[in-house]
């Protein structure tokens, strides 16, 4: 028997269908892709690459990811980038543009608009509000030196240890 549904009931039914459980093997594959996003949020990632990491087709991946985590893979990526930008706005002595590029956005305009949509205030207002609380400020040069930020986009890690050489001192 088929029942007619109102618009709100259809939206509810559609939302409920999104939240169905996935098999454990697929869950492990989805987790692998989500971890990939967490590690490589700075890089340009797309649905094809994430599906390849998960080992499933991109359409199956997109549906399963949303069913499992409640948001699309691209929304998850964007949210992670914005969360990282919030960390940097609170703690780093970097410009908004530097933070935008560091977290993986290629356009300051799209970064600012997405930040405002997700956080509810502009990046500048967010930084100003946190600066008023007197939180610790980490100089940008320290972040670059420690390899937290890679200004040249080389992807190389930095070695902060002393170069090997002769020791001076008493024996």
Domain range summary for the chain, segments of one domain joined by +: 9-70, 76-145
User: C-alpha angle 154/155/158, rounded to 5°?
Assistant: 95
pLDDT of residue 81 exceeding 70: yes
Residues 129-147 pLDDT 10s = 988 776 656 666 766 676 6
Could you confirm whether domain 76-145 is CATH 3.40.30.10?
A: no
User: Left if phi > 0, otherwise alpha if psi is -120 to 50, otherwise beta: which for 22?
Assistant: beta
What are the two backbone dihedrals, phi and then psi, of residue 138, each rounded to the nearest 5 degrees? Answer: -100, 120
Beta-ladder partners of 139:
93
Lowest mean pLDDT among 2-16, 55-69, 99-113: 2-16
Give the integer Cα–Cα distance in Å for 120 and 131. 17
């Amino acid at each position: 028997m088929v029942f007619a549904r109102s618009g709100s009931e259809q939206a509810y039914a559609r939302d409920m269908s999104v939240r169905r459980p996935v098999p454990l093997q697929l869950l492990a594959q989805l987790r692998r892709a989500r971890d990939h996003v967490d590690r490589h949020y700075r890089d340009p990632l797309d649905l094809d690459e994430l599906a390849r990491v998960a080992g499933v087709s991109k359409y199956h991946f997109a549906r399963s990811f949303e069913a499992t985590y409640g948001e699309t893979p691209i929304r998850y990526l964007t949210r992670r980038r914005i969360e990282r930008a919030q960390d940097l706005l609170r703690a780093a002595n970097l410009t908004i543009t530097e933070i935008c590029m560091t977290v993986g956005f290629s356009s300051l305009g799209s970064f600012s608009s997405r930040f405002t949509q997700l956080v509810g205030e502009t990046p500048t207002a967010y930084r100003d509000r946190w600066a008023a609380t007197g939180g610790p400020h980490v100089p940008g040069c320290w972040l670059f030196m420690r390899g937290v930020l890679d200004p040249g986009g080389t992807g190389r890690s930095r070695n902060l240890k002393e170069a090997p050489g002769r020791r001076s001192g008493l024996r």
